[in-house]
Amino acid sequence: MTGLKQAAWTYLSDPRARAVDNSALFGRLAADAPVLHFGPVWLVAGYDEVTRLAGDPRCTLALPPTWDEQCARVNPAFGEVFKSFMTVQPDESHRRLRRLVARGFSARTIQALRPRVEQVVDRLFEEPIRRGHCEFVAEIGIPLPVMTTAALLGLPEGDWRHVLRWAHSLTADLSEMTAAFQAAGDQELVPSREERERTLREVMDYIEELVRRRSAQPGEDLVSHLARQSGEDGRLSHDELVSMVLLIFMTGLETMTAALANTLLCLARNPDAWQRVVADPSLAATAFAEGIRTVTPVPMGSRVAQAEVELGPHLIQPGQTVLLMWGAANQDPRQFSEPSRYDLDRPGIGQLAFGHGPYFCLGAALSQLQGESVVRKLTTCSPRIALAADELQWRDDLAFHSVRELPLDLGGSAAPRPILAASGR
């Protein structure tokens, strides 16, 4: 096994190898090893190769044959619920469900949320700006997506903390269940299976009651929009509606937290770029898009080949797993000039932080709204931002590529401190 192939396998199998900024490793894979093969698993890192397979109908987001076995040691009940999610349905069902929910993420709907999101951003930054520093992940990155998702779904503010707890618990379960490269028994199950199943019952009961209320008295929120299309004569069954709301609970929170943190990390590391945004806040959306390209928060997506797929000299067999490395494709020098450089002048078309093809992220516009709102807010109240730590800790799970914490100086007086983080290996 070559050194680069060994580094890729170590990244997949060893949490310690993921607990660093692996952007450099991703770039090496895209440039020198765009396709790697590990038994029944293909690691695809090149931009052209990733986009080709992401758009190939023979590569679908489907559960592996070992799904029940993978779930058995974590949370079998959630494994069963996950089977009903839109993302893992057969093509025809997936397209039907996606069309129905996509109307709730229309440009008009997202723009109508702008005042609410900006109000939440103002509220969250009030105390950090007053004292001149913050731990961005905990104070802004975590609560903002919760509050935004709650606004989209029309949830009362008193329920936001429950949504956050449920989302973290279920996302952690999913991460463990999909960590097929992690040796079984390597991690101690905390919390217990009983606690995990109790959490699942709580969230399912909450959603059932929410759907019942919105079906009886619909409003202008996304749940009401979906409820209008459900029922005996509807295009959306009750179970599909409940599953859809649960999926929205899970998918919009931690991903957005990582995206916000990565963008602020890039801006703090590049003070000249930040000064450009301060001088021209219309660059806020660009700053966010380039941030999640430079340090991609969701590093990979998984597909299962449903038929033979030729990829250059390679032949992917039916049933084999294909790992599409979004984070590596975003570092491919064949697609992006000097890909490791954070560049506000880079053409934004083509970055893959939101995926590609039929599974492209439905919440992309909502994510962009949140990222732009955060960056714009800081241009008005913190003309200089700086990292307030000499070393950053990175998440070690496969699902995310992001810092655990991001201490920031918002006072405008401190010079950026050097970051001592290991490079990709």
Q: Burial of 165 by CB count in 10 Å (0-12 exposed, 13-18 middle, 19+ buried)?
A: middle
Q: pTM of the predicted model, to two decimals?
A: 0.89
Contacts of 360 by beta carbon, 8 Å cutoff, 6+ apart: 354
Region for residue 356 given its phi and psi (left: phi exceeds 0; alpha: psi -120 to 50; beta: otherwise):
beta
For residues 178 and 158, what is the distance between their CA atoms, to the nearest angstrom?
Answer: 32
At 348-369, the pLDDT tens digits run 678 999 999 999 999 999 999 9
Phi, psi values for residue 258, rounded to 5°: -65, -40
**What is the per-residue pLDDT for 231?**
58
- Residue 113 CB neighbour total at 10 angstroms: 17
Supply the DSSP symbol for 387: E
For residues 147 and 160, what is the distance between their CA atoms, to the nearest angstrom?
Answer: 7
Mean pLDDT by 10 residues, the chain (425 residues): 91 94 97 96 97 96 81 83 88 89 86 94 96 96 92 88 83 71 42 81 92 90 86 71 86 90 97 97 97 97 94 95 97 96 89 95 94 97 92 92 96 43 35
H/E run at residue 59: strand 59-60
DSSP 319-379: T-EEEE-HHHHTT-TTTSSSTTS--TTS--TT--TT--GGG--TTHHHHHHHHHHHHHHHH
At 51-105, the pLDDT tens digits run 999 999 999 988 877 788 878 777 888 888 888 889 888 888 899 889 888 888 8
For residues 329 and 321, what is the distance between their CA atoms, to the nearest angstrom?
Answer: 18
